Chain A
Amino acid sequence: MKRTGITRREVLATMAAGAAAGVFSNAGAARAAVSEMVWATWDSNGHPEYVTGFEKEAGVKVKLSYLSSEDAQFAALKTGAAADWDMVNPSLNGSWRYIKAGLLKELDLSKIPNASLMYDVFKTTPKVMDDAGKTFAIPYLWGLNPIVYRKDKFDKEPDYTTLFDAKYSGQLAMRDYALESIAIAGLVLGVPRDKVFVMDAKELAEAKKLLITQKPLLRTYWQTIGDLTNLFATGEVSCAFSWRVPFDELQGKMPMGMAKPKAGVMGWCDCFAMPATLSAEKAEVGYKFINYLLGPTYSTDVAKIGHYATTSSVIRDKLSVEEQSTIFIDDMDVMKSFMWPVAPPNYSDWLKIWNEVKAS
């Protein structure tokens, strides 16, 4: 006969087990409550091997949820579609809109000891704070977007003016991205790098004119970094405003160069943040995780495997000069010419200008 109920013995056993659990597990209650954290991040930032150290250390499984785009991340948080995300990855440039929209939890820096090891430029950035100076995100990974070029086709290291030089017509490419392309035109026109993302209407009109004159010189506008790498590999393009990927991928196959223009180097930086609605228990684990991201294990792995630098100086002196150079931390002066692309509040106008350029 099939049993449909439970016996008295089972009831007693269950009660005893419950009592024992109550007595013996209080000390580890917080840890027992959180067995898994979901980290929404880019696949390049969150290889499974990068987080195994933390999993062993904290006894918490880190489930990786890879992002498709920053816009998709923002939309998911805004619409509540990201209910299972415990840790998110806003960009330094875009953090302000998450903060303004009230999507992020305020952070207690005293719970992140490794934050003191961050380079000053990241430690003091106001981009992760609200108007009252409260911190909502921690920059943890960064890099530069240089000009990548074929050394055999250029006599000297290119700068932004090279991208507008008729001498190189048909060999140049720009990213199909209003923000960076218009800003580069602004820099060429002489707008200072700290003003270039808040250009007034007159400056924007001048930038538009310059970009229209540039258009016939370009081979194409590139869409993805894989696309641009392919354009370099197939000889279509010899010089482009880029990410470092084509340089890394094609070095050894062709003479590739990478230039960091003095007018201003566009940087990218990813931040760690937690959704505003995250529980206090999970937030405690989140603090441990960002501390891990700024610590030696993650910094070493991501530098040696992914060729990216964390914002923490923790391992800098332990790397060879070559390894430092690969991740742009051999010459710290580069940080003096950083500029962080920020979508301005009138970004719709920038988009219209960009489409007018492309439609010209």
Chain B
Amino acid sequence: MRLTLHRAHLALPVALVLILGCLLPLLLLIAFSVFTVDMDAFEMVPDFSLANWAQMLTNPVFAFLIGKAVLSGLITALIAAVLGYPLALSIANLPIAWKGIAQILLLTPLYTGEIVRIYAWRVVLGSEGLINAVLEGLGLVDEPVKLLLFSPFTTHLVLLYNTLPFMVLPIWISAELIDRRLIEAARDLGARPFEAFTRVVFPLTIPGLGVGLLAVFALSAGDMLTPSMLGGTSGATPMAMIDNLFGTAFDWPLASVLALSLLITLFATASSIGFLLLRFKGARAVLQGGLK
């Protein structure tokens, strides 16, 4: 029997590592979630108990934290899409030399570490920071605007700044791949610029938009450092609680239940986003290699 090597087969080793890297910890989490802890011996006991799952379903704080993470991810992804989409199209229309510069500028947030960015934002948004100094200097406010720092606004502003490149890059690539002759054909057939955009450009950039939405959603919903260091008293996240439960509390079963619940919710939300996007004809056309 002759084995033909397709391009898809080249992805097998990496896919295998990814599957194993995801599956093994996941299986461990599932097992731990029904175990109990013997606090006298500091041992996990391989029982079968659904008490932790019952706690997850009955204590509203867990649902609140997970819901907050999902909402935060969705808000950031939507704003990033609204801001990132026109930016990506503009970059796609730049002369080639400017595209290089745009790429460097776009990736600037990623060149520095997260902690450096967090402290830089504190300098910009703080009570004695740059923006408040300008506002006070111009006589627009008498006292520093405290809401700029340590509020949900700060968290989402910084999440947006951190994740915008992950939205712009895939849309930009999608826009670059559009055959310009399709736009010209639409115009020749009488479509106005806006119509050509809605009927040709937008549908064909939906796969890029989809990748961007999913990436920004995952990065924002799963972030712990930005909310905790810039969100002030509103910075609680399920990740911080998981960290505490695995650590000081030594309650690995409850931590596993919370981690699995978060994972299931994020996965369901991401799947819904993907499902919604696939309802667009343009996205299906790109992914299937043509309309069927």
Contact = CB atoms under 8 A, between A and B. Distances in A.
Contact of A97 (B42, B149, B244): B42
Interface stretch (A189-197, A313-321, A350-358): A350-358
A71 B248 contact: yes
A88 to B, nearest CB: 15
Contacts of B59: 352
B61 A352 contact: yes
Contact of B68 (A215, A220, A351, A359): A359
Chain A interface helix/strand/loop/mixed: helix
Contact of B249 (A70, A100, A348): A348
A348 B245 contact: yes
Contacts of A78: 42
Nearest to B146: A170
A355 B236 contact: yes
B122 A230 contact: yes
A134 B187 CA distance: 88
Given A235-B127, A356-B61, A359-B61, A100 B40 contact: yes
A351 to B, nearest CB: 5
Interface in A302-337: none
Interface residues of A, number: 35
B39 interface: yes
Contacts of B68: 359
Contacts of A227: 229
Nearest to B232: A220
Nearest to A235: B128
B41 interface: yes
Interface string A176-193: 101100000000000000
B65 A219 contact: no
Contacts of B129: 234
Nearest to B253: A348
B247 A71 contact: yes
Given A69-B247, A100-B42, A234 B228 contact: no
Nearest to A174: B233
Given A170-B146, A219-B232, A220-B150, A178 B244 contact: yes
Contacts of B232: 218-221
A277 interface: no
Given A215-B233, A234-B127, A345-B39, A176 B228 contact: yes
Interface string B61-97: 1001100100000000000000000000000000000
A216 B228 CA distance: 16
Nearest to B151: A220
Nearest to B250: A97
A347 B249 contact: yes
Contacts of B246: 71
Contacts of A219: 146, 150, 232
B235 interface: yes
A101 B248 contact: no
B141 interface: no
A343 interface: yes
Nearest to A94: B248
Given A97-B42, A351-B249, A355-B241, 8 more contacts: A71-B247, A230-B119, A343-B248, A351-B244, A352-B59, A352-B61, A355-B61, A359-B236
15 contacts: A69-B247, A70-B248, A78-B42, A97-B42, A176-B228, A176-B240, A216-B233, A221-B232, A221-B233, A343-B248, A348-B245, A348-B249, A355-B65, A355-B236, A358-B235
Interface of B: 39-43, 59, 61, 64-65, 68, 119, 122-123, 126-129, 146, 149-150, 228-229, 232-233, 235-236, 240-241, 244-251, 254
